[in-house]
Structure 1
């Protein structure tokens, strides 16, 4: 007859296994753990029959509950499209004034526009719309072609210096490179333009140069930028008096612009985005430039 050994401390039987003087107790699995394991196994087996589970060649078991995630997802997509159709139809058909006056709709515009902007515009203008070197800041309410939603929509549709037949066209001639102005004239008119947004740049030492530049500006630049240098949104000519620059407003950069010219590019989105998406973006970008800080 086999005699079992009991641990003198706990009183439990041992298994007979011993490692380095330590004997293994024959301790049963706790009842709570055992019940948990049994319930989970029973539930797993039952779940095979309740929901789709087993592949059967080209099909699978459908489950007693008739639950199918594919149908659930399809139903949700249909619901989302139905909800989306409601507000996108308003974006396409209602006036900008009516949309801007509807704060609930504008909340949707801001959420959707933010995603559209991030996907299509942020590469150039930055995710916050503040632009970067050679790309305009869209948050400062300072626009080449006008910052109303209608103007922004048109710019999005046809682009600037793009291949669209109705593209906006804007170019700063290369006055120095093309020999329209000599070296001194380029330097003088650049000094004058620099002084418009930097009054402190005008000193007794360069006042004559600035005056000479003013005369060059009147005969060469005023046709686009205006006699007051405040620009023209019809021509896409920037305001030179407000210290907001795309390419830079320091004297050396202005000299480079007058000498070599500038020609920006904005792609046309007419065939890339839907009407609702373009109008949503127009509203979103307009909102960036007018929203209170």
Structure 2
């Protein structure tokens, strides 16, 4: 086939390539595309000279414009700190009651606290603070150690079962695994605890087991949870008579908790967050638990 053959319809020469009887035309690149490529190349080359672009061992080309992203970020952070300085000072110095009584200031606390909570607490307690298995719900106003801002601040600072010298310490013994109770006693006391929040569980068939479980509870559990099973915030023992559960309130989970024990952990934030951040989080978490829906 002749290399200079022309297509009878368009008049353009062909390339000599044929696929399934279809001949390829030697069509030039559109002028607009060429101009676009030329302009973008000129722009790229010019940009190399204007802004930081090429690494040079331990340094890099600085660019004529002197653009420095690190400096820009540092300036932005410094500006943000200056903007927050006034209300951070108030957070750190004013009593909690004063801040709580200021609706406009509490709006700022909610906005800033939401960001701090998302960055530091949401991994365990959830973005909405509602917790999950093994991590308390912070929105239900049901507290292990107390829900005042002062108490929450203390918990944040020292943690629970943490490395802090003044850490709060709380542990549910493994009554079954460690042989403190026999299997039947574990089953009986689990039935009793389950009945406290599920009164319909009490029937003629279960009443004997529940009564036996109460005797075990008084002897082995009341020291922490109280004889009325309503818990003790001094030792972080939960109320067993309501429908708020950390690990689960079904009979099987309660049995597992009694048999194998539980030992939660909350890190100390005293060395990770500033005083202003801890106090902001204390107010935010308190607000989560007490805010009206």
TM-score, normalised with respect to structure 1: 0.73
Contact 2:52 2:60 in 1 (8 A): no
Q: 1:117 aligns with which of 106, 121, 131?
A: 121
* Aligned counterparts of 1:47 and 1:178: Cα–Cα separation in 2: 71
Residue 80 in structure 1 maps to residue 80 in structure 2:
yes
Structure 1 position 170, deviation (Å): 0.9
Counterpart residue number, 1:178: 178
In structure 2, the partner of 1:263 is 263
Deviation at 1:106, TM superposition (A): 4.3
In 1, the alpha carbon distance for the partners of 2:131 and 2:206 equals 33
- In 2, the alpha carbon distance for the partners of 1:158 and 1:273 equals 12
- 1:142 match: 142
**What is the distance in 1 between the residues matched to 2:158 and 2:94?**
21
Alignment of 1:1-293 (within 5 A): 75-100=75-100, 101=103, 102=105, 103-118=107-122, 122=123, 124-293=124-293
- Following the alignment from structure 2 to structure 1, what is the Cα–Cα distance between the partners of residues 172 and 94? 37
Give the whole-Å Cα distance in 1 for the aligned partners of 2:290 and 2:252: 32
Distance in 1 (alpha carbons) for counterparts of 2:238 and 2:111: 32
Contact 1:114–1:284 (CA<8 Å) still a contact in 2? no
Give the root-mean-square deviation of aligned CA atoms: 4.0
Structure of larger gyration radius: 1
Measured in 2, the distance between the counterparts of 1:168 and 1:69 equals: 43
TM-score, scaled relative to structure 2: 0.73
Cα offsets for 1:253-286 (capped at 9, x unmatched): 2122222221111111121222122222222222
Residue 75 of structure 1 and its aligned partner are, at CA, apart by 4.3
Residues matched between the structures, number: 282
Find the residue that maps to 2:173 and give its secondary structure: coil
> Once the two structures are superposed, what CA deviation does each residue of 1:74-109 show, in whole Å capped at 9, x if it has no partner?
544432221122222222222111222534454444
Q: Check 1:252–1:277 CA distance in 2 against 1; reply closer, same or farther (3 A cut).
A: same
Distance 1:244 1:265 in 2: 19
Deviation at 1:68, TM superposition (A): 7.8
